[in-house]
């Protein structure tokens, strides 16, 4: 086993240090029109405005988001712009929101129809479903129901 090497403190601040090995100059690049020669990156493609509008409208008014999504996909195919993912996201969200809205409207309509049926059956004049708060329902079963005309006459006689 060898003895551990002693720790060397780092060189003092400002002292000359050797530079790391150089890998040579960068490779030559082709210039892009409108950019300085040797510009290493291609210019960014613009994002399709309808794709952005499709994503925004998918949350605000879903059917419009769907229409704008299809329009932007066709424009992106022709022009080569960016934004295909935004357009697809606008389409998917637009469809999901539209289907959820339709299901909510159908469920609300069915719930309203069921509630109306329950109310209609509970106020049936045949007496089958008279609620306890109804005027002709006895408040205390087993006791006679008072007649309002005789009660008023009795109250007037006593005064």
Q: Is the pLDDT of residue 51 over 70?
A: yes
Decide: 66 and 98 in contact? Cβ < 8 Å: yes
Residue 112 lies in a domain: yes
Decide: 101 and 66 in contact? Cβ < 8 Å: no
Please give the pLDDT value at position 53.
96
User: What backbone phi and psi angles, to 5 degrees, belong to 80?
Assistant: 75, 20
pLDDT digits (tens, 9 = 90+) for 73-107: 999 999 989 999 999 999 999 999 999 999 999 99
Rounded CA separation 120/114 (Å): 10
Return the higher-pLDDT residue of 139 and 52: 52
Residue 15 lies in a domain: no
> What is the span of the domain harbouring residue 89?
49-123
In the block, tokens 């300085």 appear at 36
Residue 75 lies in a domain: yes
Q: What number is the average pLDDT over the span 137-149?
A: 66
pLDDT band at 67 (very low <50, low <70, confident <90, very high): very high
Statement: the pTM of the whole predicted model exceeds 0.75: no
Residue 102 lies in a domain: yes
Residue 103 lies in a domain: yes
Q: How many domains does the chain have?
A: 1
Residue 20 lies in a domain: no
Residue 100 lies in a domain: yes
pLDDT band at 34 (very low <50, low <70, confident <90, very high): low
pLDDT digits (tens, 9 = 90+) for 11-26: 677 666 666 666 766 5
Please give the pLDDT value at position 66.
96
Residue 4 lies in a domain: no
């Amino acid at each position: 086993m060898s003895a551990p090497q002693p720790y060397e403190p780092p060189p003092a601040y400002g002292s000359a240090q050797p530079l790391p090995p150089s890998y040579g100059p960068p490779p030559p690049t082709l210039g892009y029109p409108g950019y300085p020669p040797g510009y290493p990156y291609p210019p960014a493609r613009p994002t399709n405005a309808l794709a952005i509008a499709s994503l925004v409208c998918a949350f605000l008014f879903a059917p419009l988001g769907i229409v704008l999504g299809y329009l932007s996909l066709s424009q992106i195919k022709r022009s080569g712009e960016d934004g295909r993912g935004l357009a697809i996201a606008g389409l998917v969200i637009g469809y999901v929101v539209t289907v959820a809205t339709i299901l909510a409207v159908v469920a609300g309509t069915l719930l309203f129809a069921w509630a109306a049926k329950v109310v209609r059956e509970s106020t049936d004049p045949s007496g089958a479903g008279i609620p306890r708060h109804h005027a002709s329902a006895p408040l205390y079963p087993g006791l006679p129901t008072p007649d309002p005309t005789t009660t008023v006459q009795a109250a007037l006689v006593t005064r």
